């Protein structure tokens, strides 16, 4: 299989005070979003030890007995958090569901949060496995680091789209952003035809930030329709555009279909944390992305409603 030739964006230039490095980095990122819709991000500011600690704690959970994991199944909670088992998610309707386990965490909010009390899915307290203090500590620490990075990426998008750098701040200060801990079992020698993975899909959030171990398995669809491998790069994250950002930019940014197939006999682990808006944010064409000659192509939509429509299409527990 051909390897995807993705751009590599160095975030260190965005920290330069003179503005030149910031604009150059933002321009490079914008060009990547307009072409591949995927890119590697290096010097992003998150230490590898953060990811390794979260991975080790998560593997303790995924290797636990099924009876223990199912105590925290996503169907037992009202706000889209907890454990997801094999065949619980079917992003590609041609498949019989993903062969992947996952655990979902999001912004930690108290149980007296007004949105949570109002029944707004995506807001509320997280679900944490009993007897695993390292899990809560290290996983939520990784989530916090990802969300800090998400704010930087939104700032880069703003600069690259000729907007004030703080354009997205008031729309992302209570993000409905989920992080998936993903576990893919290795291919069994007894059943070599059965591989774990995720079916072909577009992400439906604004963008995704992915840390993956060295096993590999992520693939993206080329413009010609072939599949290309996204090889893990050491100390690099993979960033990709989701459908909300494509709508927001009037198709200027590209949401690219992708999938995961673990053909290795080794287990694979990844963390996919989404950069997203507040649940109640209104998504309508960014002014710099439309004109009289290029009118808005999408109707205005509330971010949370769009996300929940996608959740209901793809998660078995909502049926």
Residue 221 covered by a domain? yes
User: Hey, what long-range contacts does 296-305 have (CB within 8 A, 24 or more apart)?
Assistant: 296/250, 297/250, 297/251, 298/247, 298/250, 301/247, 303/176, 303/244, 303/276, 303/277, 303/278, 303/279, 304/120, 304/121, 304/122, 304/176, 304/278, 304/279, 304/280
- Number of domains the chain contains: 1
Measured in whole angstroms, the distance separating CA 229 from the mean position of its chain's CA atoms is 18
Which residues does residue 270 pair with via DSSP β-bridges, in sequence order? 182, 212
Residue 275 covered by a domain? yes
Under DSSP, is residue 70 helix (H, G, I), strand (E, B) or coil? helix
Looking up residue 223, the CATH number of its domain turns out to be 2.60.120.330
Res. 186: pLDDT tops 90: no
Residue 1 covered by a domain? no
Would you place residue 195 in the very low, low, confident or very high pLDDT band (cuts 50, 70, 90)?
confident
Residue 2 covered by a domain? no
CB 108 within 8 A of CB 140: yes
What is the C-alpha separation between 153 and 44, in angstroms, rounded? Answer: 10
Residue 291 covered by a domain? yes
Residues in the chain: 319
Would you place residue 189 in the very low, low, confident or very high pLDDT band (cuts 50, 70, 90)?
very low
Domain that holds residue 145: 8-318
- What's the mean pLDDT in 92-111? 89
CA atoms within 13 A on the CB side of 208: 25
Cα–Cα–Cα angle for 62, 279, 127, rounded to 5 degrees: 25
Rounded to the nearest integer, the mean pLDDT of the chain is 93
Tokens for 101? 């386990």
Would you place residue 190 in the very low, low, confident or very high pLDDT band (cuts 50, 70, 90)?
very low
């Amino acid at each position: 299989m051909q390897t995807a030739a993705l751009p590599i964006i160095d975030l260190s230039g965005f920290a330069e005070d003179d503005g030149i490095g910031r604009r150059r980095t933002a321009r490079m990122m914008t060009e990547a979003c307009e072409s591949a819709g995927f890119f590697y991000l290096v010097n992003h500011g998150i230490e590898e030890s953060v990811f390794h600690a979260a991975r080790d704690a998560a593997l303790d959970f995924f290797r636990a007995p099924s009876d223990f994991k199912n105590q925290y199944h996503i169907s037992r909670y009202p706000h889209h958090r907890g454990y997801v088992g094999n065949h619980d998610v079917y992003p590609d309707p041609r498949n019989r569901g993903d062969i992947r386990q996952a655990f979902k965490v999001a912004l930690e909010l108290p149980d007296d949060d007004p949105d949570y009390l109002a029944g707004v899915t995506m807001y509320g307290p997280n679900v944490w496995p009993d007897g695993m203090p390292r899990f809560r500590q290290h996983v939520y620490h990784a989530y916090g680091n990802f969300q800090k990075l998400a704010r930087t990426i939104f700032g880069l998008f703003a600069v690259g789209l000729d907007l004030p750098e703080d354009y997205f701040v008031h729309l992302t200060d209570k993000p409905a952003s989920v992080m998936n801990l993903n576990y893919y079992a290795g291919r069994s020698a007894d059943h070599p035809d059965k591989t774990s993975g995720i079916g072909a899909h577009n992400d439906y959030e604004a963008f995704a930030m992915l840390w993956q171990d060295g096993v590999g398995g992520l693939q993206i669809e080329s413009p010609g329709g072939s599949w290309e491998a996204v090889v893990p790069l050491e100390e690099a994250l993979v960033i990709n555009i989701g459908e909300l950002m494509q709508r927001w930019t009037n198709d200027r940014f590209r949401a690219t279909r992708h999938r995961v197939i673990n053909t290795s006999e080794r287990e694979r682990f990844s963390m996919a944390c989404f950069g997203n808006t507040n649940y109640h944010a209104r998504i309508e064409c960014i002014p710099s992305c439309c004109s009289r000659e290029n009118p808005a192509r999408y109707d205005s939509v509330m971010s949370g409603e769009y996300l929940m429509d996608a959740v209901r299409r793809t998660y078995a527990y909502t049926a």
